[in-house]
Amino acid sequence: MDDAIPIAYLNDFVFCPASIYFHKLYGSMDTTLFQSTDQINGADAHKAVDEHRYSSKKSVFMGLDVYSETYHLVGKIDIFYADTGILTERKKKIKTVYDGYVFQLYGQYFALTEMGYSVKELRLYSMDDNKVYPLPLPEEDPEMLAKFVQTIHAIRTLDIATVRQTNAEKCAHCIYEPACDRGLI
């Protein structure tokens, strides 16, 4: 599994391919040295799931380690309700449903189904405003599934020397911007 892609990288890559490089570079450092207040708050909001305190029901899986052999992805799920088949990815505040969020759920979905679980629904959950965003299963959205596969291929074949950000707004909200030589700021 040495070359397995962490599921979280799918979202990072969509935001900016260079962020994966910085993710690895800053990997074991104390995150308070480089994370923004929003990211620290997001990590704090996930603690109930990460520490398995979200629910005591045996049918609610939290922070379960997963692996997809098909796509060679590894990571953790947020919450899977095994009794209903609902897989949920929690975010602190969702203003827009980005492709990266969808791809994270797809990675979790494929890993869980390969592990023998029956996933019937996908959803994003915005914690700050208590909103649920249902998503179609990958087989119900061939266009998004194709983008998911293309993104995995792009990560595997990434040449960091060719990465150039084209969206200044992304750079303005990037925690790695001060160290990045590919940004627009």
3-state percent helix, strand, coil for the chain, nearest multiple of 5: 40, 20, 40
Give this prediction's pTM. Answer: 0.82
Mean of pLDDT values over 45-70: 75
67: three-class secondary structure by DSSP: strand
Tokens (6 digits) for 116 = 């023998």
Q: Which class in CATH covers the domain with range 5-179?
A: alpha beta
Q: Determine the pLDDT at residue 177.
A: 73
Residues 183, 167 contacting (CB under 8 angstroms): no
Mean of pLDDT values over 71-91: 96
Mean of pLDDT values over 136-141: 98
- Of 182 and 101, the structure prediction assigns the larger pLDDT to 101
Tokens 């997809």 identify what position? 68
